[in-house]
Amino acid sequence: MTENSSNPGQGRTARLERATSESSVMVEINLDGTGVSNIDTSVPFYDHMLTALSKHSLIDMTIKATGDTHIDAHHTVEDVAISLGEVLKEALGNKAGIRRFGEATVPLDEALANAVVDLSGRPYLVHGGEPAGQEYHLIGGHFTGSLTRHVFEAITLHAQICLHMTVIAGRDPHHIVEAQFKAFARALRSAVEADPRVTGIPSTKGLL
């Protein structure tokens, strides 16, 4: 079940339930919220990152997920990201009146990440700058560093957005991941906002 509005500021919402043999996921968002979240994916560090994503994007999020985490967190993390991308696409509607583009550079102590978002309707991810070995770090006992890129891949593909994510600096694996999620959140916040000077779809093609 999904519901959405094409008008920024008018409660653009969407809800999705997704079940496979590997996970069961429910995601509900409100693009015009205040950053309130209720998140339980059964992967604690991922909960922390998604809470930060909600808080700093001002997108209200309710996310509930269970899965075969006794095997690996990968399936549950991926399926939540797929579902989040799908509801982002649904809640955006036809994207009339939005800013479309967003950019943010966010520090977390020694870590620094830059995110640039285009709600283009064309899925594309450029992800780079993580220090060598970041992908092998196990953070919080469940979340492997390689999952960070995987989350952004799934979101961009299913939301049909373009994201350039660059880690500029960082040493602590936790900080490196969190700076990326916060940078993405702030860029997304700008991109989904209403632009009072925009009439209709912000594209020369007339469609996003």
Q: Band of the pLDDT at 182, cuts 50, 70, 90? A: very high
Residue 99 neighbours by CB under 8 Å, 6+ apart: 190, 191, 192, 193, 194, 195, 198, 202
What per-residue confidence (pLDDT) applies to 56? 98
CB 206 within 8 A of CB 104: no
Query: pTM of the full predicted structure?
Result: 0.95
- DSSP, collapsed to helix, strand or coil, labels residue 53 as helix
| Distance, CA of 118 to CA of 184 (rounded, Å) | 11
Could you give the CA distance from residue 30 to residue 4 in angstroms, rounded to a whole number? Answer: 9
pLDDT band with cut points at 50, 70 and 90 for residue 8: low
Please report which confidence band the pLDDT of residue 11 belongs to, taking 50, 70 and 90 as the band edges: confident
- For 124-171, the pLDDT digits (tens) are 999 999 999 999 999 999 999 999 999 999 999 999 999 999 999 999
Strands 111-118 and 162-169, sheet pairing: antiparallel
At 153, the amino acid letter reads E
d(CA 44, CA 50): 10
Assign 201 a pLDDT band (cuts: 50, 70, 90).
Answer: very high
Instruction: Note whether 63 and 1 are within 8 A (CB).
Output: no
As a whole number of angstroms, the distance between CA 27 and CA 16 comes to 5
Give the helix ranges, DSSP H, for 93-172. Answer: 146-159
**Does 179 have pLDDT greater than 60?**
yes
* DSSP-based three-state secondary structure for 203: coil
**Superfamily name with CATH number, domain 13-192:** Imidazole glycerol phosphate dehydratase; domain 1 (3.30.230.40)
Q: Are strands 101-108 and 124-128 parallel, antiparallel or unpaired?
A: unpaired
